[in-house]
Structure 1
C-alpha cells in the first residue's frame, strides 16, 4: 500500500491543494472543476462582512439563522458548528455514557468515521449495520444513530427510517440522524420528509454539501437536547465562528433544489457516455461514481497497489491533468475513496459532458500505464 495512515492521507491532501493553488495562480479558477458535491461557498454582502466581529456577529447572524435553519431542517432549535463531525462528537459526549451501547443503521456500510471514533472516546460499545433485519436495540443503549444518506449517496429507505425511530422511542432512547447530504438529497430528490419531521431528536447536516454554504455543520432538533449539547460545544470550542454562521445563513437562503433535480437528469447522459468504455461505472442520485473495488476491476495490468491507492492515483491524475477535483484527492483522513463525479455543482453546469467523459477516459488510460510502477504512483500521490 502507498497510503497507509491518516498522516499519508494528510500529505496526499496537501499535495492536491498545492496543485489546485498552482492551477489558480498560473491558469485561473476557470480551469478548475470541483465535482465533489462539497464545493460550498461564502455568500456575503459588504454590509454583512462589516459585522463579523467576535460578539456582534453571533448576536446578529445566529438569531437570523434560527428562522431559516428551522425551515431548512425542521426541529425546534438549530445550532451552528464548525463541522458536522463536531456536532456528532458533541452529541455523543453529551448523551452517551461509558460502557453503554450506540447502535447505528445506514443504507450501506461504512458509517462516517467520526461516529465510531466519538464512541471510542467516551468508551461506548458501537455497532453498525446496513441489514435492517440485523438491526436491534440492546439493553443499556444510550443513543440510536441513523444515516440519511451515506458518504457515497446511498439513501435510506423511508419506511426503515421511520421504523428505527419508532423502535428507539419505544425504549425512550434518543435518535441522532447524520444527514450530512441527506438533508437536501433525501428531501429534494427522493421527496422524503425532514429528519426531525420523521421524529428524529437530533439531525445534523453539512452546510457545504449540495448547497452554496461553508464547510460547517448545522444541528437541529429538540430544544432541550440542543441546549444541553450546546454547553458541550462551547466547552470544547466546537461552535461555528461568525463568518461561518453568516455563510450558513446565506447558503441556506440561496439553496436551489432545482440544481439537484437537473443533476439527477444529466447523470444518465454521463453514465451512458462512460458506460461505453467502463463496465463498473455506477450511478449516484446526482452523478456517477467508481468505487475503489469497481475501479480495480477495470485495470487489466499486473500491479501491487491496493484498491484505495488506485483511486487516489486516479483522483490526482484527474486533478493534475484536467483540473477535476474529486473527494479522494482532497478529502480528510477517513473520507471515502470512491470517486464521484457530482453534477450538482456550479462547475459541473459549465462542463460539456462529452468532454468530461473524454477527460475521465484519458486519465484512466494514464492510470493503467503507470499502475505497475509503484514509485511513479507515489510521486503522483505525494509529489
Structure 2
C-alpha cells in the first residue's frame, strides 16, 4: 500500500492543500470546484465581526445559537463545539466510564473513526451493528449510538431509528445520534423528523455539511445531558469559539432544504451519463459515488495493478484535483475517514459546471488513473505531489 497509516494520510492531505493553494494563487485565474458537499462557509457582517472578542462574542451569540439551533435540531439545549468529532469525544468522555459497553447502530460500516477512538480513549467496550435482528444491548451499557447517515450518505430508515431508541430507553440508557449530514439529508430528502423529535437524548450535526457553515459541531438534546457534555468540552477545550458560533448562527439562518432537493434531478442526469460508460458508480441522495471496492474491481477488470482499493481512491482523487481542479473528499480527508469518492451536486460549485462537463472531467481523470496505476512509483508521486 502507498497510504498505510495516519501519518501517510496527513502527508496526502498536506499535498492536496499545496495543490489547492497553487491553483488559487495562480495568475491564470484557474477555477476550482469543490464537490465534496463539505464546502462550508463563513457568513458574517462587518458589525458582527466587531463582536468577536473572547468573552463578548459568546455572551452576545448564546441566545441566538439556542434559538436557531433548536429550530434546526430540536431538543432542550444547544451546545456548539469546534468539530463534530469534538462533540462525539466530549459526549463519550461525559457519559461513558472505563469498562462500560457502548453499542452503535448504523446503516452500513464503517462508523466514523472518532467514535471508536473515543471509546478506546476511555477504555470502553465497543460493538457495532448494521442488522436490527442481531442488535442487542448488553448489561453495563452506558450509551447507545445511532448514525443517521453514514460517511457515504447511506441513510437509516425512520422505523429502525425509532426501534433502536425504544430498545435503549426500555433499559434507561441514553441515545446519542451522530447526525453529521443526516440532520439535513434525513429531513430534507427522506422526510424524516429531527433526531430529538424521534426520541434521541442527544444528537450532533456538522455545520459545514450540506450547508454554508463553518467546520463545527452543533449538539442538541436533553438539558441535563447537554450540560454534562458542555462541561466536559470546556474542560478539554473542545467548545466552539465566538467566530465559529457566529458563523453557525448565520449558516443555520441561511439554510434552505430546497437547495438539497434541487440536486436530485441533477444527480440522476449525471448518473445516467456515467452509467452508459461505467459500471462502478452508485447514486447518493445528492450525487454519485464510487466505493473503494467498486473502484478496485473496475480498475482490475482493465489493468493489473498492485495498488489497493484505498490507494486507488486516493490516487484518483489527487488526479481529479491536480488535473481537473475538482476537490473530492479522499484528497483532503482526515485520517480514518471513508475513502469513497463522492461528487455532490448540492455543492455550490456544482452550479458552475454543466453536467456534461462534470462527466467529461470524471471520464478523463479515470482514463489517466488507468494509465498511471500500473506504475506504483508514479502513483506514489501523484498522491504525495512529489
TM-score bracket, shorter-length normalisation: over 0.9
Residue 122 (structure 1) aligned with residue 122 (structure 2): yes
For 1:43-192, list aligned pairs within 5 A. 43-192=43-192
Distance 2:288 2:26 in 1: 30
Q: Deviations over 1:235-270 (max 9, x none)?
A: 000000111000000000001111100112211000
Number of equivalent positions: 383
Look up the match of 1:248: 248
Residue 76 and residue 30 in structure 1: after superposition, are their counterparts in 2 closer, same or farther (change >3 A)? farther
Tell me, yes or no, if structure 1 residue 347 matches structure 2 residue 352. Answer: no
2:36 match: 36
Q: CA deviation at 1:349?
A: 1.3
Equivalent in the alignment of 1:218 = 218
Q: CA deviation at 1:28?
A: 6.9
Q: Give every structure 1 segment of 4 or more consecutive aligned residues whose post-TM-superposition deviation is greater than 4 Å.
A: 27-30
Q: Where does residue 323 of structure 1 map in the other structure? A: 325
**C-alpha distance in structure 2 between counterparts of 1:64 and 1:347, whole Å:** 29
Unaligned runs of 5+ in 1: none
- Compare 289-298 and 180-189 and name the one that shifted more: 289-298
How far has the Cα of 1:359 moved from its partner? Answer: 0.6
Give 3-state SS (helix, strand or coil) of 2:39's partner: coil
Match of 1:235 in 2: 235
Secondary structure at the aligned position of 1:86 is classed as: helix
**Per-residue CA distance 1:159-208 (angstroms, 9 max, x = gap):** 00000000000000000000000000000000000000000000000000
Query: Structure 2 CA distance, aligned partners of 1:90 and 1:42?
Result: 24
Give the unaligned 5+ runs of structure 2: none
- What per-residue deviation string (whole Å, max 9, x for no partner) do you get for residues 220-244 of structure 1? 0000111111110000000001110
Alignment TM-score, normalising by the size of structure 2: 0.98
SS at match of 1:111: coil
Instruction: Determine helix, strand or coil for the equivalent of 1:54.
Output: coil
Moved more, 41-50 or 27-36: 27-36
Tell me the secondary structure at the aligned position of residue 342 of structure 2: strand
Q: 1:369 aligns with which of 349, 371, 374?
A: 371
CA distance in 1, matches of 2:360, 2:190: 30
Distance 1:276 1:337 in 2: 24
- Alpha-carbon offset, residue 62 of structure 1: 2.2
Structure 1 length normalisation: TM-score?
0.99
Q: Which moved more, 1:360-369 or 1:54-63?
A: 54-63
In the alignment, what sits opposite 1:266? 266
Q: CA deviation at 1:101?
A: 0.5
Alpha-carbon distance in 1 for matches of 2:99, 2:378: 47
The 1:28/1:88 distance shift into structure 2, 3 A limit, reads farther
Which residue is equivalent to 1:297? 297
CA-based RMSD of the aligned residues comes to: 0.9
Alpha-carbon spacing, 1:174–1:298, altered in 2? closer, same or farther (3 Å): same
Alpha-carbon distance in 2 for matches of 1:188, 1:303: 41
Q: Deviations over 1:254-290 (max 9, x none)?
A: 0111110011221100000111111110000000000
SS of the residue corresponding to residue 134 of structure 1 reads coil
CA distance in 1, matches of 2:31, 2:367: 21
Q: Does 1:359 pair with 2:367?
A: no
Aligned partner of residue 276 in structure 1, secondary structure: helix
Kindly state the Cα deviation for residue 61 of structure 1 after the two structures are TM-superposed.
1.2
Secondary structure of the structure 2 residue equivalent to 1:227: helix
TM-aligned CA deviation for residue 129 of structure 1: 1.2
